[in-house]
Amino acid sequence: MKTEPPSTTANPLSDRLKKGDLFATPCPSREILKHVCSRWGVLILIALLHGKHRFSELRNKMGGVSEKMLAQSLRSLTEDGFVLRVAYPVVPPFVEYSLTPLGEEVAKRVAALADWIETNLPQVLEARQSAEHAAKPSDQKSGPPPVSSG
């Protein structure tokens, strides 16, 4: 007996959108990419690769993040299923953050990119310095370029 494929009318998203297409404007993967690849999202994921952290531990470890941005980033990563938030019913409140299995997978990928950046930092800084040098005219002082009358 032949079975029919599952109905595609039950879910209005196209097969392509179900998988994810970062180049499609309405694709939810863009929002997830924003959460994972934001400055604070990357640092949170990498920090949690090394184990559970409390909010204050993450804030101290990351340096420069405001409480509002840290809370917002943690909320987004939790909603996306990457971070697990466990609140213990004690006084004062005690909350721990850790990676879910999905979060561990994405964190390892983000950490690989961060490792590449740190390893290649001297070359990137050299390229940046060369580009800045090339952009500055060596025989002119600062100011607008001379206007030619045509």
The partner residues of 86 in beta bridges, in order of sequence, read 96
Read off the pLDDT of residues 3-28 as tens digits, 9 standing for 90 and up.
Answer: 444 444 455 545 555 677 778 888 88
Contact, 99 vs 82, CB < 8 A?
yes
φ and ψ of 94, to 5 deg: -130, 115
Which of 39, 85, 78 has the alpha carbon at shortest distance from 62? 39
Read off the pLDDT of residues 94-129 as tens digits, 9 standing for 90 and up.
Answer: 899 999 999 999 999 999 999 999 999 999 999 999
Distance of CA 107 to the CA centre of its chain: 10
| pLDDT above 70 as % of the chain | 79
Query: What's the pTM value of the predicted model, to 2 decimals?
Result: 0.73
On the 0-12 / 13-18 / 19+ scale of CB atoms within 10 A, 35 is buried
